[in-house]
């Protein structure tokens, strides 16, 4: 039996044909209509010579055509490469080149960014440039709408794919300057859909709200595609916007969604404003809400905001195709702070540096295995060998498992900074700063922020003549805006241990005692 992700569409069209599958900005698709549009788009891709193994890079915010393209590519055996639209042209060009894409897709808002990135590459060999939404007054972009219209009624057989066939390459910030391309297979995605259905109790009549970016597994897999696995509906938002979120929940009676902690706080503020104005939103339909790193105070707020909801502290990574553990309803208050138990089909351990399991209550590295876990990184055998060892994926996170089997995350081994739902590798920012000719050393840590949870701040040792404004400009040329340090401290030296490793915990402790040489909020 084929493992092709798109296989579910034909069955849904037969069983749930007239039920809503997708809602976006006043438009609605039934399951039958979604299947027909994906069929037509797949036929259009084939007509342009795109088929098994071919990769298409996508630079776009959330639009229905993004999801349809991913399914159409799966249908013909191609590979989706979703890319962060907050990158600079240079960063984007690096990833397009690394992924070996044969086509690109974008929307009007990011057409200039995408074109600028392509101008840095030899892209004459591209077979297709797709406009997910019409791009006016610009030549060379094929409209997805026109491609669907021309091929409407076409039938394309699902490619016969196995569990190991590649469905997506998702780039995630790593410890090197170039993000790593996580390989996600059709087997990974199907195992994740099953796990989400089981743990969340998804049903054919359910509706989820999806405001997470589709270049993240949070948008495509949490539960993302899983709602279509059972014939349910997805309400897609172009981008996260608190009033739109609350209006969609109320109007569509959404049962579930996923929020970062910062998103939850912003939704709470908007709900408070509406209540104080005498126009409260009806949020009683919400049955579950997935989040991470929510403080006890914010948990209480969420409980008041969504009185009927299971509040799920979760933990997952791109390499595990989203959620790895969820906190169950029975313990969402008694084990507040824990990220819960492994999802179905997944094994999770906490191990010592030699890979041996540690007893309950002892800190160690979190490792995982199962059909949801990626096989590795694109064209990076060293990183793959380092992270995927002896049948287990080593997350780089420090955690502890209690006597009842519940996991709590303590810290991050990889010095990842979590800012407004984005992962920022401190080493990537450090490398960009260190590339300045007058910088002798640079170290970057995460600092608490009332809105973004964390922001990067940098400590720099410079040569005489180093101008901080020049360093900021240097960083902005090389990094996406959210990665640029929000504070820079020029210091005489960095604290290190006897082996010369920078002590970042000392920098975090030192920061409140210093005045930044430059800052931006």
pLDDT in tens, the chain (521 residues): 689 999 999 999 999 999 999 999 999 999 999 999 999 999 999 999 999 999 999 999 999 999 999 999 999 999 999 999 989 999 999 999 999 999 999 999 999 999 999 999 977 779 999 999 999 877 889 999 999 999 999 999 999 999 999 999 999 864 344 789 999 999 999 999 999 999 999 999 999 999 999 999 999 999 999 999 999 999 999 999 999 999 999 999 999 999 887 788 789 889 999 999 999 999 999 999 999 877 777 788 899 999 999 999 999 999 999 999 999 999 999 998 899 999 999 999 999 999 999 999 998 999 999 999 999 999 999 999 999 999 999 999 888 999 999 999 876 666 678 888 887 877 788 888 988 988 888 889 999 998 888 999 999 988 889 999 999 999 999 999 999 999 999 998 888 754 445 788 889 999 999 999 888 86
Residue ending a domain, among 162, 197, 232, is 197
- Separation between Cα atoms, residue 244 and residue 222, nearest integer Å: 20
Tokens 């491609």, residue located: 147
Identify whether the C-beta of residue 16 lies closer than 8 Å to the C-beta of residue 9. Answer: no
Residue ending a domain, among 134, 168, 197, is 197
* Residue 258 located in a structural domain: no
C-alpha distances out from residue 68 to 47, 84, 161, 325, 476, Å? 17, 18, 19, 29, 34
Q: What is the CATH number of the domain that holds 22?
A: 3.40.50.980
- Separation between Cα atoms, residue 468 and residue 460, nearest integer Å: 10
**Which domain range does residue 69 map to?**
7-197
Per the structure, the count of domains in the chain is 2
- Separation between Cα atoms, residue 203 and residue 226, nearest integer Å: 10
- Could you tell me where the beta strands, DSSP code E, fall in 228-279? 233-236, 256-258
* Residue 318 located in a structural domain: no
Q: Which string of b and e fits 448-475 if b means at least 16 CB within 10 Å?
A: ebeebbbbbbbbbebeeebebeebbebb
372: closest CA among 167, 230, 77, 69? 167
- SS3 labels along 291-320: ECCCCHHHHHHHHHHCCCCEEEEEEEEHHH
* Residue 440 located in a structural domain: yes
Residue ending a domain, among 152, 175, 197, is 197
Q: What is the CATH number of the domain that holds 502?
A: 3.30.300.30
């Amino acid at each position: 039996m084929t493992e092709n992700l798109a296989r579910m569409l034909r069955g849904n069209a037969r069983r749930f044909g007239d039920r809503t599958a997708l809602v976006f900005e006043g438009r609605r698709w039934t399951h039958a209509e979604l299947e027909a549009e994906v069929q037509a788009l797949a036929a259009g891709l084939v007509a342009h010579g795109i088929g098994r193994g071919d990769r298409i890079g996508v630079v776009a915010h959330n639009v229905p055509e993004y999801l349809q393209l991913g399914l159409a590519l799966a249908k013909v055996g191609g590979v989706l490469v979703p890319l962060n639209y907050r990158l600079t042209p240079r960063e984007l060009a690096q990833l397009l080149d690394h992924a070996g894409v044969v086509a690109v897709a974008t929307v009007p808002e990011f057409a200039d960014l995408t074109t600028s990135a392509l101008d840095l590459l030899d892209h004459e060999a591209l077979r297709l440039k797709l406009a997910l939404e019409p791009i006016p007054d610009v030549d060379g972009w094929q409209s997805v709408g026109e491609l669907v219209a021309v091929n409407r009624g076409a039938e394309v057989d699902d490619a016969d794919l196995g569990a190991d066939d590649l469905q997506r390459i998702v780039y995630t910030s790593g410890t090197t300057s170039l993000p790593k391309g996580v390989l996600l297979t059709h087997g990974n995605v199907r195992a994740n859909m099953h796990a989400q259905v089981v743990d969340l109790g998804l049903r054919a009549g359910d509706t989820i709200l999806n405001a997470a970016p589709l270049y993240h597994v949070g948008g495509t897999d949490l539960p993302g595609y899983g709602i279509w696995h059972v014939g349910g509906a997805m309400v897609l938002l172009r981008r996260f916007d608190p009033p739109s979120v609350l209006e969609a929940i109320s109007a569509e009676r959404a049962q579930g969604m996923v929020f970062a902690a910062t998103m939850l706080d912003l939704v709470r503020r908007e709900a408070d404003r509406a209540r104080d104005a005498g126009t409260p939103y009806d949020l009683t339909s919400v049955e579950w809400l997935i989040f991470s790193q929510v403080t006890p105070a914010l948990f209480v707020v969420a409980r008041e905001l969504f009185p009927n909801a299971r509040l799920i502290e979760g933990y997952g990574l791109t390499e595990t195709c989203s959620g790895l553990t969820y906190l169950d309803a029975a313990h969402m208050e008694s084990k507040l702070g824990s990220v819960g138990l492994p999802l179905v089909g997944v094994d999770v351990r906490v191990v010592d540096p030699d890979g041996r399991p540690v007893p309950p209550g002892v800190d160690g590295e979190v490792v995982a295995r199962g059909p949801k876990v990626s096989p590795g990184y694109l064209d990076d055998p060293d990183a793959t060998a380092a992270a995927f060892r002896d049948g287990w994926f080593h997350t780089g996170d420090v955690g502890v498992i209690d006597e009842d089997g519940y996991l709590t995350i303590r810290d991050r081994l990889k010095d990842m900074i979590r800012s407004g739902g984005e992962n920022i590798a401190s080493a990537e920012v450090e490398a960009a700063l260190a590339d300045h000719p007058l910088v002798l050393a640079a170290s970057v840590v995460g600092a608490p922020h009332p809105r973004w949870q964390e922001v990067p701040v940098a400590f720099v040792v410079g040569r005489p003549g180093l101008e901080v404004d020049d360093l900021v400009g240097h960083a902005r040329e090389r990094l996406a805006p959210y990665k640029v340090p929000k504070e820079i401290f020029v210091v005489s030296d960095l604290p290190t241990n006897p082996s010369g490793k920078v002590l970042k915990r000392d920098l975090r402790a030192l920061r409140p005692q210093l005045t930044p040489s430059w800052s931006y909020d």
